[in-house]
Structure 1
Amino acid sequence: MQNKPPSSHRAGLPIGNNGRPSAHATRPAPSGSTELDPKLLWVTVRHCWVWATPIGLALAAAAAFAVFSTFVPVYKATHLLEVNQDYVVFKGVMPTPRDLVASERPLVTNALVLDEVKNDPEVQAFYDSETPLSLGQIRGAVGVSNVGSSTLLSIEFQHKDPVAAATICNKITDSFLTIRDRLDNDRVSNLESWLTPSIDQWKNEVQVHGERVRDLSKMVIGYDPTHRVEGLENDLSVLASLRSNLSNLIVEESILEAKVAMNTAIGESSAKSDLDPSKVRAPYPEEIDQFVESDPSVVTNRRLLAERQSRVRNLEDRGLAPLRQEYHKELVERAAEQQRELDNALADARQRAPQAVTERLRRDAERDYQEGLAEKKTAALALRESINQQLVDLKARRAIIQQEYDIEKARLEQRGGKAADLRFATEDREIAAGILGQLNQRLAAIRTERRRGSGLHTLAQATPPLNPVEPMPTKKMIVAAGGAFMIPFLFGLLWELRSQKICDASNLESKVMAPIIGEVAKLPPKFGSRKGRRVFEESIDTLRANLMMSKDTIGVRSLTIASSMSGEGKSSVASQLAISVAKASGKTVLLIDGDLRSPDQHAIFGLDLGPGLSKVLSGDVELKDAVDTSLGDFVHVLPAGKMHQSPHRLVNASSIRDLLDQALEKYGFVIFDTAPVLAAGETLAIASETDATLVCVMRDVSRPDSVVRTSRRLEAAGANVAGTVFSGVPSSQYAYRYGDYRYFTAQPEPQTIEHA
């Protein structure tokens, strides 16, 4: 065919870039985003549940079985302790803490308590002899908690053997009570030793004030002791009250200073103490063997011996030993020599093993011991800071009262003369004697109440539990099964993230940034519901209305239906859109199957291929002779025909222009069904000559990048890309978004053409 000027059917349309009509310019797709769209999770489930569910169930069952098969029941033994609330004479002298768990847990889990348990041979017998028992193993199984009351404390221990759980729990409790009793005794002894200097000091004070009273009595001879100084008695009562408060504060201050000194001495002694060598256990035979086998010299010689023995066996297995006797003999001698070197290395390593393993055990024990000392020192430091703060507050209160006392005393001295001095001296002696008496009483109370014994005593010893903590690892099995069940869905999500398929219209707009002309419901099956057929037909009619009423596409008579790849619904949209346009306009529509490689329209309408488009474009057949008019006056179909030449030679801009000129003289509208744009370049020639082009996008099939590339190729070829058609929307979703507006009276529904 000869080239002709552009057809008149393109006149009047808006002109875009390159002098071509353009209804819309496809906007560039946004750059990739790392944010996860929540809708993608539902899309993943919808796409993957068919294959992911059985795989997930199988993995979940395997994971649950693995947890169950490796599950070892653990038993928890409990030793119950009660606070010793009895007292001998003085109540509250040896108070118990309000929060037993907070005060006793650091000591229960301390290395001072657990080291003795760890080194107990009976305890070590409950554990694997190949692995040395560590402090962390015991500490991780110990628990301390309250039991219903603040006066009850339970020490718990978990082990896979119920007898071991009870035995170790009791040993930990015994060690805890022993250490606690020893610390209490040390604290009381230290407190006694630090109270003694204060007692001696106030003894001297009593003696000094007694001598001053005697001196003043001599100086005021002739003074009537019964003579009352006016107003002096009332003022002396105020002064006596201040002195009483001062004496109480001095006693409390002395006790707190004794506690600070005692705590400091304990912290210094702990910091300077060294590990008792007797606490380091002897190495196990298994540890000796492990050291010998891991010795570098032994490993090297054993490897060389294995290599030489392998050479000897290889020669013998191949039957070459008799033929190469000298070489075989040399290999055997080398292997024997290597065996002797290995024996020497083993003997040397075994000789060094006891000392080396013992040194390692000593370092481990020293580390654990130092950790315990550090914990003890930290606790002592915290206690010392608390006592120091109390001491600061107490001294501040004492300074205020002392100041008031000095002012009042000076005022009375001016008023009462020597009589007041004598009275003051007497009061000072009585105050000193009172403070001394309180200190002695405090010391006696501590010594008396300490005889009652420990502040905690056993209420019920641990016994072997009958039932494990968890008879079945139900929670672990559920967690493992749930995680395993999600694995295939996770792979499905990764695949969806990689493929980035378009799952809804909003997704299409956000990722492709292309205008959507309309949405098309999923093509119902042959025996589908009437509602599904009605919704599908309504979606096609809506697409047709949007296309014909839009200001950008009004007046369009020739239309190309394209897609990026096959399977995106272009053939179904083209056939149904042709029927809808014909019904709405009352004009005959020519539907041309432009996919010469894999035609569909003849199968959709049940027609023969005939000469088709291929013969028309080659000039062998006239258009009117190739068109199939058996469907009636509304839709005529030009099948693709049998391809006898390359589609690139048949389909070009000039041949399509001539074809359109002929077709539009007879038909009101011409609709092309074309081959996929990315796979077949001839579609660009068809799209460049029609008035508008629609790009079909299939839900859960099309990818954003493919749609963008397709639109750009079409625009580069001069096609007027009117927008995209989003097809494959479920009828229920379409009806939910746009409504299902059925007819009031029964109407004969047009028959939907089924896809072959």
Structure 2
Amino acid sequence: MSPHPNGPDSRRQNSSGRAKVKRSAHGNDKSNIEFDPKLLWVTVRRCWLWATPIGLSLAAAAAFIVYSRFVPIYQATHLLEANQDYVVFQGVMPTSRNLAATERQLITTDLVLDSVLADAEVQATGLFQNSEAAKNALRAGLSIGNAGVDSLLTISFKHADPEVAALVCNKVTEAYLVQRDRLDGERVSNLESWLAPSIELWKSEVQAHEKRVRELSKAALGFDPTQRVEGLENDLSILTGLRRDLANYIVEESILEAKVAMHEAGVSGESDRNIELPKLEIPEPTTAEIDRYVESSAEVSRYENRVAQLQGMIRSMEDGDLVRIQRDHYEGLKTQLADTEDDLRQARIDVRSTAVAEIKSDALELAERNRKAQLAQLEFKRKAELKLGQQSDQQRLAELKAKRAITQQEYDNEKARLEKQGGNSADLKFAQEDREVAVGILAQLNQRVAAIRTERRRGSGVHTMAAANTPTRPIEPMPTKNMVVVAAGAFAIPFLLGLLWEFRTQRISDATTLESKDVAPVIGEVARLPSKIGVGKRQRVFEESIDTLRANLMLSRDTVGVRSITIASSMSGEGKSSVSSQLAISLAKACGKTVLLIDADLRSPDQHAIFGLEMGAGLSKVLSGEVDFDNAIDRSLGDLVHVMPAGQLDMSPHRLLNASALRDLLDRALEHYSYVVIDTAPVLAAGETLAIAAETDATLVCVMRDVSRSDTVVRSSRRLEAAGANVVGTVFSGVPYSNYAYRYGDYRYLTPKHDRVPDAVATPTPAGMPLHGGMNEQSVL
């Protein structure tokens, strides 16, 4: 590629292409900070070296704390069984089909727990006082279930002391059995009391029928009633069957009426009993809950909106290049922003001071509403169950009364028919039958009462199978699960901190990240400098990346005619000095003409150290007029690359690097050199770089992998463009050899052995950085 004609006119003519490069270099503004899932892997890659030992230390400490505070919990279990035995009459005393479901409420009632807390042995332990807190502790430690089948009931209690666990478990079971016996006794007594009126009624019925039989027997003397009574035997058999059915219906009616009365009494009694739930305990709000409460506050939101508004106005002025025109207004906005941010911090502090009380108050109100709803649901369920049992018995009672009425009607009709045929003998026979029916009903009622009293002697409906013994092994010998969870969380803490830091700093780890930023497009990726000089793959890939950058720059239609190039960066350590030196060598190799490399970083120059040169008078003396242009150039490297070091700085760089002096310097340089590459100071740290970039044909912004930050790159690009610089592209450097080879491949070339450059020709620098292909003319050509 041949250079363009020399002279200042050609450089000025090329400035007309800057607007075109600017328009094509930027897309939409997507610089808003967003979370990228790739940041997780980037965090691990960057932080594992220091985060792993810290995480392991924290994990070990957390696991040790959990282990040191671990208190083994023992569980004692008492096994009970539904009493299905009977003395004589089977089914008289019914038992529950699911003990755990029906007995849970009784076991956890105050009747049982108050009795346990009042026990002398329990009080002797000193662990439970007769208070509501102790009662809640008992409920929390109790667990009720079944042992595989519904007819078995297990009552378990958990405690750190195994003896206390066994003691409390047995005491709770004993108190429960006492209450169960009392309730069963009350049930039997109630049933007997409700059957007593029916028994008395039928006693009087038996007496009335006996009296009638005696009267009819007297009236029947004087004639032989035997023939007439015997003639009625066949007809009376039907009447006897009807009498027997009536007797059975009457007995069942009496029993069901007693049950219905018991249900009605039970419903009214149960409705007066309050269901007690554990006392509400509102936990302390977490840090996340407090933060959400603070951020949702109206005062904080108002200040946040104001901060966002001011930041938008400032950003709009920076983007529209209005800062220089309205400097006072810009500074005033920044002052307002700082004051508003202070107000925002104070508002957050004020809201946070009351956040705990407000959050707990809201949580308590919500818990109270949920508690009332739960109580209402339990009360409704209990009444519904009682009502359902009552309705079932009432339905059966109504059916029995209907059957009895039908049977009674049939009996009355049959009796009337026989009375017409049998006369007094039939009346006597009927009276005897009525007496027998009444005696049968009374006998059945008495038998029912006797059966209840007999079966009551079998004992409680639930009895112990195995009492609780002192447990010898805790439920969990070691808190393995908690230790693993806590250790994992502690191990992740440094990585989370690293993730937060990476998310905040938004360091660039991939060239594709720059595509979504408001910066010039990536014009080339530069591989990481190899640690050793030689002809290995890493050096070959590095040199190839520099040559690719040079080709992309010089062959692009947007940069046609570019001869003076500024290499800039946002901050120090982003590879601009390395890119400057290597790009100058690559340009010299490509065109075969001399390239001038100017070190314009007057504050912290590097080019003389990179090439191993003397500092000399350099650029600072040329700009101050103390040394002529030609005398400040170091030509010791050969005829391809000449270097103008920075020189010793003895005054402010802003005074030296003014627009007129830079124009004269560049005009002089372009008269003698095909290309001029200028290494500059960081844009954000040194304002003089803006003046240099404004006078050159093109500016490249260097970005270092894992070092450069998105916000600084965007800000430096905007400042360069606002100053009039032609930012033609971004250079992404520091790419690992493996990544570069994966993305672009490693396509090596072969040369004859006599043309290859021996390792000794490559000149290492004091900093250990290899030069691009060696620095003598034979090696580069």
Query: TM-score scaled to structure 2, two decimals?
Result: 0.67
CA deviations over 1:372-418 (Å, ceiling 9, x no partner): xx9999877634312323554676798899999999999x99x9998
Instruction: Note if contact 1:79-1:173 (Cα within 8 Å) is conserved in structure 2.
Output: yes
The match for 1:636 is 642
The match for 1:500 is 506
CA–CA separation in structure 2 for the residues paired with 1:252 and 1:592: 116
Please state if 1:186 is matched with 2:186: yes
Please state if 1:257 is matched with 2:282: no
The match for 2:605 is 599
Instruction: Note if contact 1:591-1:673 (Cα within 8 Å) is conserved in structure 2.
Output: yes
SS in 2 for 1:147: coil
Instruction: Note if contact 1:648-1:681 (Cα within 8 Å) is conserved in structure 2.
Output: yes
Residues 166 and 405 (structure 1 numbering): CA distance in 2 closer, same or farther, change over 3 Å?
closer
- Matched AA of 2:485: V
CA–CA separation in structure 2 for the residues paired with 1:508 and 1:26: 11
- Matched AA of 2:459: G
Residues 719 and 37 (structure 1 numbering): CA distance in 2 closer, same or farther, change over 3 Å?
same
Of 6, 11, 14, the match for 1:10: 14
Instruction: Note if contact 1:558-1:690 (Cα within 8 Å) is conserved in structure 2.
Output: yes
- What is the aligned residue count? 633
CA deviations over 1:471-524 (Å, ceiling 9, x no partner): 333333333333333343344344334433333334444455653333333333
Instruction: Note if contact 1:29-1:708 (Cα within 8 Å) is conserved in structure 2.
Output: no
The match for 2:292 is none
- Matched AA of 1:145: G
Residues 403 and 95 (structure 1 numbering): CA distance in 2 closer, same or farther, change over 3 Å?
closer
CA–CA separation in structure 2 for the residues paired with 1:210 and 1:377: 57
CA–CA separation in structure 1 for the residues paired with 2:523 and 2:198: 99
Measure how far apart 1:710 and its partner are.
Answer: 0.9
CA–CA separation in structure 2 for the residues paired with 1:131 and 1:417: 71
CA–CA separation in structure 1 for the residues paired with 2:209 and 2:393: 25
- Matched AA of 1:264: V
- Taking the TM superposition and a 5 Å limit, the aligned residue runs for 1:29-48 are 30-32=31-33, 36-48=35-47
Residues 589 and 462 (structure 1 numbering): CA distance in 2 closer, same or farther, change over 3 Å?
same
CA–CA separation in structure 2 for the residues paired with 1:416 and 1:600: 133
- Matched AA of 1:606: G
CA–CA separation in structure 2 for the residues paired with 1:646 and 1:467: 81
Instruction: Note if contact 2:598-2:678 (Cα within 8 Å) is conserved in structure 1.
Output: yes
The match for 2:174 is 174
Instruction: Note if contact 1:523-1:536 (Cα within 8 Å) is conserved in structure 2.
Output: yes
CA–CA separation in structure 1 for the residues paired with 2:418 and 2:530: 118
Residues 393 and 260 (structure 1 numbering): CA distance in 2 closer, same or farther, change over 3 Å?
closer
CA–CA separation in structure 2 for the residues paired with 1:207 and 1:585: 141
CA–CA separation in structure 2 for the residues paired with 1:262 and 1:95: 20
CA–CA separation in structure 2 for the residues paired with 1:441 and 1:629: 132
CA–CA separation in structure 2 for the residues paired with 1:385 and 1:574: 88
CA–CA separation in structure 1 for the residues paired with 2:22 and 2:687: 20
Residues 514 and 446 (structure 1 numbering): CA distance in 2 closer, same or farther, change over 3 Å?
farther
Of 688, 698, 702, the match for 2:694: 688
The match for 1:614 is 620
- Matched AA of 2:145: S
- Matched AA of 1:142: L
Measure how far apart 1:454 and its partner are.
Answer: 1.8
Please state if 1:741 is matched with 2:746: yes
SS in 2 for 1:707: helix
Of 537, 545, 554, the match for 2:543: 537
The match for 2:532 is 526
CA–CA separation in structure 1 for the residues paired with 2:446 and 2:640: 122
- Matched AA of 1:46: R
CA–CA separation in structure 2 for the residues paired with 1:429 and 1:634: 143
CA–CA separation in structure 2 for the residues paired with 1:593 and 1:434: 128
SS in 2 for 1:123: helix
- Taking the TM superposition and a 5 Å limit, the aligned residue runs for 1:148-159 are 148-159=148-159
Residues 131 and 651 (structure 1 numbering): CA distance in 2 closer, same or farther, change over 3 Å?
farther
CA deviations over 1:611-650 (Å, ceiling 9, x no partner): 3222333344444443334444543333222223332222
The match for 1:660 is 666
SS in 2 for 1:260: helix
The match for 1:321 is none
Residues 704 and 200 (structure 1 numbering): CA distance in 2 closer, same or farther, change over 3 Å?
farther
Instruction: Note if contact 2:26-2:521 (Cα within 8 Å) is conserved in structure 1.
Output: no
SS in 2 for 1:462: coil
SS in 1 for 2:468: coil
The match for 1:147 is 147
- Taking the TM superposition and a 5 Å limit, the aligned residue runs for 1:432-447 are 446-447=452-453
- Matched AA of 1:183: L
The match for 2:335 is none
The match for 2:300 is none
Instruction: Note if contact 2:546-2:583 (Cα within 8 Å) is conserved in structure 1.
Output: yes
The match for 1:351 is none
Residues 245 and 189 (structure 1 numbering): CA distance in 2 closer, same or farther, change over 3 Å?
closer
CA–CA separation in structure 1 for the residues paired with 2:548 and 2:248: 98
CA–CA separation in structure 2 for the residues paired with 1:438 and 1:10: 125
Identity percentage over the alignment? 56
Measure how far apart 1:591 and its partner are.
Answer: 2.4
Of 560, 563, 569, the match for 1:557: 563
Measure how far apart 1:716 and its partner are.
Answer: 1.0
Instruction: Note if contact 1:23-1:721 (Cα within 8 Å) is conserved in structure 2.
Output: no
- Matched AA of 2:59: A
CA–CA separation in structure 1 for the residues paired with 2:673 and 2:553: 18
The match for 1:325 is none
Instruction: Note if contact 2:142-2:158 (Cα within 8 Å) is conserved in structure 1.
Output: yes
SS in 1 for 2:677: strand
CA deviations over 1:689-719 (Å, ceiling 9, x no partner): 2222122222332222222221121111101
Residues 450 and 582 (structure 1 numbering): CA distance in 2 closer, same or farther, change over 3 Å?
farther
- Matched AA of 2:189: S
- Matched AA of 1:173: T
- Matched AA of 1:604: I
- Taking the TM superposition and a 5 Å limit, the aligned residue runs for 1:369-380 are none
- Matched AA of 1:171: K
The match for 2:485 is 479
- Matched AA of 1:189: S
Which one is further off, 385-394 or 70-79?
385-394
Measure how far apart 1:745 and its partner are.
Answer: 4.8
Which one is further off, 601-610 or 167-176?
601-610
CA–CA separation in structure 2 for the residues paired with 1:391 and 1:708: 81
Which one is further off, 201-210 or 487-496?
201-210
CA–CA separation in structure 2 for the residues paired with 1:512 and 1:432: 107
Measure how far apart 1:169 and its partner are.
Answer: 1.9
- Matched AA of 1:573: V
Residues 599 and 433 (structure 1 numbering): CA distance in 2 closer, same or farther, change over 3 Å?
farther
CA deviations over 1:101-158 (Å, ceiling 9, x no partner): 3333333232221212222232223235999772223222222233344333322223
Instruction: Note if contact 2:247-2:438 (Cα within 8 Å) is conserved in structure 1.
Output: no
CA–CA separation in structure 2 for the residues paired with 1:378 and 1:443: 38
The match for 1:24 is 25
- Taking the TM superposition and a 5 Å limit, the aligned residue runs for 1:270-419 are 270=273, 382-392=381-391
Residues 394 and 141 (structure 1 numbering): CA distance in 2 closer, same or farther, change over 3 Å?
closer
Which one is further off, 93-102 or 76-85?
93-102
Residues 517 and 602 (structure 1 numbering): CA distance in 2 closer, same or farther, change over 3 Å?
same
The match for 2:769 is 755
Please state if 1:725 is matched with 2:731: yes
Instruction: Note if contact 1:29-1:513 (Cα within 8 Å) is conserved in structure 2.
Output: no
CA deviations over 1:250-272 (Å, ceiling 9, x no partner): 68964662452242254267569
Of 620, 629, 632, the match for 1:626: 632
Residues 131 and 118 (structure 1 numbering): CA distance in 2 closer, same or farther, change over 3 Å?
closer
CA RMSD in angstroms, aligned pairs only: 5.2
Measure how far apart 1:688 and its partner are.
Answer: 0.7
Residues 201 and 660 (structure 1 numbering): CA distance in 2 closer, same or farther, change over 3 Å?
farther
Instruction: Note if contact 1:247-1:435 (Cα within 8 Å) is conserved in structure 2.
Output: yes
